[in-house]
Amino acid sequence: MKSKFIKWLSLPYIIWAIGFIIIPLLMVFYFGLTDKNSHFTISNVLAIFQPIHIKSLLIALLLSLISTIICLLISYPLAMILSSFKKGNDKMMILIFILPMWMNFLLRTLAWQTLLENEGIINTVLSLVKLPSINIINTPYAIILGMIYNFLPFMVLPIYNVLCKIDGNLLNASRDLGANEIQTFCKITLPLSVPGIISGITMVFVPALTTFVISDLLGGSKILLIGNVIEQEFTLNSNWHLGSGLSIVLMIFIVISMLISAIFDKDGEGNTF
């Protein structure tokens, strides 16, 4: 009886999943593995090895990797500070922290554009106080900055989550057995927070790898990431076959990083939401 009821309850989600996940996915595979005459081909996938495509893939990998590492370096200490707040106060801090996420993603990135422009707000202020201006708009640095700004909360939250769950008595036990603060961190805190770190890495790396909005707005049209190439195939060139083929390549990378994450995070401890 009960299980039947549950089955019915899940129906809307199943319809949703079929309509908006399964079918589009199948379509990507269909277009990616066929040519204009609907004949099977893997040339769309192999097109990744064309110099322009492989270059954009490598740049995307590099930039998202750098952003992920910087996010991790910022997030870990931040999450430690947040988790050391007393219960009650920490919720407020977290709220302040995720507040920017309530704004539209595009809007936030556009804001950075106006801030960073050569005659933008930051440079205006800098020139007012007679400091040299910074010209990073339309460079990889601006893209990295945009990625970090947009995806940082996705790194902080899972790490914060696992840190909060670490029993204070474990740390006390470690100190009790003669470990100083650094040893306690290396031997207890860090290993126990690995699931959160891995989860954070995937949650930053995957969207950073696939983004085209950030590179569009902050990189000008000078720097093409693999996301931009795919987007252009769909929009400008209307070549859905090539776009889908390249998407499949990207998916392989995403699946790999998801698998890595699943191996480390068997218990779902790093889940944030």
Partner 1 sequence: MSNKLINLENISKSYDNHLVLDEMNLYIRENEFVTLLGPSGCGKTTTLRIIGGFETPDTGRVVFDGQDITRLPAYKRPLNTVFQKYALFSHMSIAENIAFGLKIKNKSKSYIDDKIKYALKLVNLEGYEHRMPDSLSGGQQQRIAIARAIVNEPKVLLLDEPLGALDLKLRQDMQYELIRLKNELGITFIYVTHDQEEALTMSDTIVVMNQGYIQQIGTPEMIYNEPENAFVADFIGDSNIIDSVFIQDELVQILGVKFPCVDKGFGNNKPVDVVIRPEDVELVAPEEGLLQGEVSHIIFKGVHYEMEVMANGFEWLVHSTRMFPVGTKVGIKVDPFNIQIMNKPASEDEEAVAVEE
Please identify which residue in 25, 170, 255, 256 interacts with partner 1, judged by CB under 8 A. 170
Q: How far is CA 179 from CA 67, 94, 168, 186, 217, in A?
A: 33, 31, 14, 10, 49
> Are the C-beta atoms of residues 219 and 211 closer than 8 Å to each other?
no
Please identify which residue in 12, 180, 263, 268 interacts with partner 1, judged by CB under 8 A. 180
Residues contacting 132, CB < 8 A, separation 6+: 126
Please identify which residue in 7, 55, 91, 187 interacts with partner 1, judged by CB under 8 A. 187
Amino acid at site 137? I
Closer residue to partner 1, CB minimum distance, 55 or 187: 187
Task: Report residue 197 as tokens.
Answer: 């770190």
In angstroms, what is the minimal distance from the CB of 84 to partner 1?
Answer: 15
- For residues 32 and 240, what is the distance between their CA atoms, to the nearest angstrom? 8
Beta bridge partners of 34: 40
The contact mask relative to partner 1 for 139-168 (x = CB under 8 A, - = no) is: ----------------------------x-
> Are the C-beta atoms of residues 116 and 142 closer than 8 Å to each other?
yes
* Sites for partner 1 among residues 35-74 (CB under 8 A): none
Closer residue to partner 1, CB minimum distance, 95 or 170: 170
- Using the contact rule CB under 8 A, the part of the chain among 43-51, 68-76, 149-157, 170-178 near partner 1 is 170-178
Please identify which residue in 8, 176, 236, 268 interacts with partner 1, judged by CB under 8 A. 176
128 DSSP assignment? H
Closer residue to partner 1, CB minimum distance, 188 or 206: 188
- Using the contact rule CB under 8 A, the part of the chain among 54-62, 75-83, 183-191, 208-216 near partner 1 is 183-191
Directed axis angle between helix 89-98 and helix 51-84, to 10°? 160
Number of residues in contact with partner 1 under rule CB under 8 A: 17
Phi/psi for 221 (5° steps) reads -105, 15
* Sites for partner 1 among residues 189-208 (CB under 8 A): 191-192
Q: Is 110 in the site for partner 1 (CB under 8 A)?
A: no
- For residues 201 and 211, what is the distance between their CA atoms, to the nearest angstrom? 15
| Residues making contact with partner 1 (CB under 8 A) | 167, 169-170, 172-180, 183, 187-188, 191-192
